[in-house]
Amino acid sequence: MRRNLPSPTALLTFEASARFLSLKRAADELNVSAAAVSRQIRNLEEYIGQPLFNRLHRRVELTEAGARLFEPVNQGFSNMAAVLASLRAGESERQVTVGSTGGFAYYWLMPRLAGFSETWPEITLNQIVSDEQIDISDRQADLVVRYGTGQWPDLESRYLFGDRVYPVCSPSHLEKVGIPASVADLAGHPLFDTRGIPGDEWLDWVTWFRYAGHRPINIRRRYLNYLIGVQMALDGQGFVLGWHSFVADLVSQGLLVKPLDIEMRSPGAFFLTSPAGQSLSADAGLFSDWIVAEAASSH
């Protein structure tokens, strides 16, 4: 059966060309000439007996045969790359690094990590916690959790969960200031606006007030990161927008309360991202599948 396979070079050239949908970019990645890429593709098409690409003016697109061939070839090279990377690293150095904001790491991820460690105790999970953009392209992290639409240039995204958002404060603060009589009344209280990663479409008080039908004019806001914002709310200093996935336990424990029964569905969602066109290590793939399954089961 293996003797009936075409040249490995032709398959490698096809995989790169199909992944980029560009013979030129494939040539750049493989460090060969565009003519060499075209020649390998032609040889493979002659071997199969049908075209793999439609040649358009400035790009190529996969034919039905090309699309059928790409998936197993791409998966095969990805699996080989993951195994080779694992072998080079050695069994004693199985590590995965995931990046996220402080709020996501502290309130959502950390309470669940014991389950991952129990299943794969041989994998060391490192975290990069930052409310600034984490540059995933330099392999500082294998995976990064981001909030938004899931459409980021040069990133592949896996959906984790959407959320709902509502104002929260401590019971002691509510006793001190009283329950807001309306949305407009809430606007006059101290409000802590939290920040997401720069460039992501984070939800703020202005957006929430508009959703609730109030035109926000001169609202009293302070800008903080999420951990500090929630802590100041817990300390009885004002109101913060509670993301349900982060504050649900604090609300159920009575440490935070909802003064108004108004919830807004978040316009975006949380996604797990990785560099586009780059294979995850076997262990990063395990973590990726685990966190997606964990998100699905808890939402």
Residue 3's Cβ-side half-sphere holds a number of Cα atoms within 13 Å equal to 0
Q: What local confidence, expressed as pLDDT, does residue 240 receive?
A: 93
Question: Which of 102, 163, 182, 140 is CA-nearest to residue 274?
Answer: 140
In this prediction, residue 134 carries a pLDDT of 81
In sequence order, what are the beta bridge partners of 5? Answer: none
Secondary element (H or E) of residue 171? helix 171-177
**Phi, psi (degrees; rounded to nearest 5) at 8:** -60, -35
Phi, psi of 99 (to 5 degrees): -110, 150
Q: Is 138 helix (H, G, I), strand (E, B) or coil?
A: helix
How far apart CA 77 and CA 88 sit, in angstroms, is: 16
Please enumerate in sequence order all residues whose Cβ is within 8 A of that of 51, keeping only pairs 6 or more positions apart, or say none: 45, 63, 65, 66
H-run or E-run covering 70:
helix 64-89
β-pairing, 221-224 with 143-148? Answer: unpaired
Token pair of 286 as six digits: 């395990």
Residue with tokens 């003519």, as numbered in its chain: 35
Domains of the chain: 2-89 (1.10.10.10), 91-162+269-298 (3.40.190.10), 164-265 (3.40.190.10)
Please report the pLDDT score of residue 198 as a whole number. 63
Query: Could you give the CA distance from residue 230 to residue 234 in angstroms, rounded to a whole number?
Result: 6
Per residue of the chain (299 residues), give pLDDT as tens.
445 678 888 899 998 888 888 888 888 888 888 898 999 999 999 999 999 999 887 788 888 888 889 888 887 777 777 666 666 655 556 899 999 988 999 999 999 999 999 999 999 999 998 888 887 776 678 999 999 888 888 889 999 999 999 999 999 999 998 888 888 888 888 888 887 666 666 788 888 988 988 876 666 666 778 888 899 999 999 999 999 999 999 999 999 999 998 999 998 899 999 988 888 889 999 999 999 999 998 87
8 Cβ contact partners less than 8 Å away, ≥ 6 residues apart: none
Distance CA 157, CA 145 (A): 9
User: What long-range pairs does 23-31 form, CB within 8 A, spacing at least 24?
Assistant: 23/60
CB-CB contact of 237 with 190 (8 Å): yes
Cα–Cα dist 296/299, whole Å: 5
DSSP state of 147: E
C-alpha–C-alpha distance, residues 122 and 18, integer Å: 36
Do 137 and 166 touch, CB atoms closer than 8 A? no
